[in-house]
């Protein structure tokens, strides 16, 4: 079962990474997650973002994730502590 966290996007770090202010954690997650997690996007379903991730820019990512309620399906944590995962906009209240 995949670990899932939800929260609001804050600081965009690059064309495919940002800080997630974690507000919700799925019951039964295998790992613990802090209130602020750096996330590198491995795949995404984000309105306004091109399907081809090589076309992404930091500015486009800012428009899509800043203050948006997001779902992150965690694949793993890299050696530097950054989460890698699938990110999508999440429906308010329904997660």
Q: Give 40-70 pLDDT, tens digit per residue.
A: 999 999 988 998 999 999 999 999 999 999 9
Query: What SS3 class is residue 54?
Result: helix
**pTM of the predicted structure, to 2 decimals:** 0.92
From the number of C-beta atoms within 10 Å of its C-beta (0-12, 13-18, 19+), residue 73 rates as: middle
- Domains of the chain plus CATH, in order, are 3-89 (2.40.50.90)
Give the burial string for 19-45 (b: 16+ CB within 10 Å, else e): bbebeeebeeeeeebeeebbbbbbebe
| Tens of pLDDT, residues 14-41 | 999 999 999 999 999 999 999 999 999 9
pLDDT at 90: 86
In this prediction, residue 92 carries a pLDDT of 53
């Amino acid at each position: 079962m995949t670990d899932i966290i939800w929260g609001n996007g804050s600081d965009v770090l690059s064309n495919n990474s940002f800080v997630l202010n974690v507000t919700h954690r799925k019951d039964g997650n295998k790992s613990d997650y802090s209130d602020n997690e750096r996330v590198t996007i491995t795949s995404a379903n984000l309105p306004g973002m091109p399907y081809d991730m090589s076309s992404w820019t930091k500015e486009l990512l800012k428009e899509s994730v800043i203050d948006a309620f997001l779902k992150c399906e965690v694949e793993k944590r890299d050696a530097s502590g950054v989460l890698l995962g699938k990110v999508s906009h999440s429906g308010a209240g329904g997660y």
